Amino acid sequence: MLLPVVDQGGLAVVADLAGRGLVAGAVVVGSPNEGFPAAVAAVQEASTTGPVVIAVDEEGGTVQRFGVLLGALPSAAEMGSWSADEVRNLARERAAALAALGVTVNLAPVVDVGSGPGIGTRSFSDDPVVVTTHGVAFAEGVLEGGLVPVAKHFPGHGRANADSHTELATTPDLEELRMVDLLPFGLVPEGSAVMVGHLAVPGLTDGVPASLSATAVTGILRDEMGFDGVVVTDDLSMGAVAQLVDVPSAARLALIAGADLLMVGPHENVVPVAWSLVGALEDGSLDQRWLDEAVERVLAMRGVDPCALVAQEG
């Protein structure tokens, strides 16, 4: 369930962690080079729990990892003026190229409405209709290209007042989000995941990030909106969370809130986070049933049969 954030060189550490069954995979940042497929293959070979997630942020524009290997990808703001079919086709082609390199998950599209701090040209538009049609088209293309798309950043970062990379950002209140920012998340295609951002929502999260809030993740995304796919946290080592709690504590709170995949920042956080989750099970703050449901969703995303794992252990 844990996703450390590493560059290509850090995949060697991820291979060791995967060999001990401690991670669900990794988020790869930086600019991978020609050695990337071999590094990914080593991780997959080492894993004792079946195929793992290899996720990247390949949004386009200012956030893309494979420009050197695959060529530049236009920003969402530029694609906002295209037809939905053009967006879908480009996303499909890019996803297929990424899959050939060993990537399994694209942490895109951004379906935030608006270009507030931390978003800018990463958003398709200030119009929720354009964001929805183009975000859905991008996600469909990613699925058709063989990857899992991740719509982000729930419940909507585009009109927040700050960049959550550095500080806790506050969105408009819940009722306004329902009329604008939540709309794209309600239409993500089946097979997509959703990333929850570090966003405080007046009237919903009581001043804590949505990523750590059960009222946001379980109450709104799962119960009210009916989303039953994988929920991924944004990086729990980001400034918005770091000013409140340490990463192990944040991971515990995120899992209790209803997240499935926990992005835990540098790989050094993996073991402390794992012990924190064990502690949460032992003290009863984390229900074993919740954990089992989260693991089941993550294994399904990875294409792993849990029965096969049990048989292997036996």
Cβ atoms 61, 27 nearer than 8 A: no
Residue whose token pair is 């409140």: 244
Catalytic residue among 57, 112, 181, 234: 234
Question: What number of residues does the chain have?
Answer: 314
% of the chain with per-residue pLDDT over 70: 98
pLDDT band at 149 (very low <50, low <70, confident <90, very high): very high
Q: 147: which DSSP letter?
A: S
Instruction: Kindly list the structural domains of the chain, giving each domain's residue range(s) and its CATH number in brackets, ordered by start.
Output: 60-313 (3.20.20.300)
Q: 153: which DSSP letter?
A: E
pLDDT digits (tens, 9 = 90+) for 37-69: 999 999 999 999 999 999 999 999 999 999 999
Mention every residue, 6+ apart, whose C-beta is less than 8 A from residue 74: 60, 61, 90
pLDDT band at 308 (very low <50, low <70, confident <90, very high): confident
Rounded to whole angstroms, the Cα distance separating 80 from 243 reads 34
Q: 45: which DSSP letter?
A: H
Cβ atoms 294, 287 nearer than 8 A: no
What average pLDDT does this structure show over 192-199? 98
Per-residue model confidence (pLDDT) at position 165: 96
Mention every residue, 6+ apart, whose C-beta is less than 8 A from residue 267: 4, 5, 6, 10, 13, 14, 17
Q: pTM of this prediction?
A: 0.96
Catalytic residue among 126, 163, 165, 246: 165
Rounded to whole angstroms, the Cα distance separating 40 from 38 reads 5
pLDDT digits (tens, 9 = 90+) for 151-191: 999 999 999 999 999 999 999 999 999 999 999 999 999 99
Give the mean pLDDT of the chain: 96
Q: Is 134 among the residues known to form the active site?
A: no
What average pLDDT does this structure show over 85-111? 98
Q: Is the pLDDT of residue 307 over 80?
A: no
Per-residue model confidence (pLDDT) at position 108: 98
pLDDT digits (tens, 9 = 90+) for 221-278: 999 999 999 999 999 999 999 999 999 999 999 999 999 999 999 999 999 999 999 9
Q: Is 165 among the residues known to form the active site?
A: yes
The residue type found at 75 is S
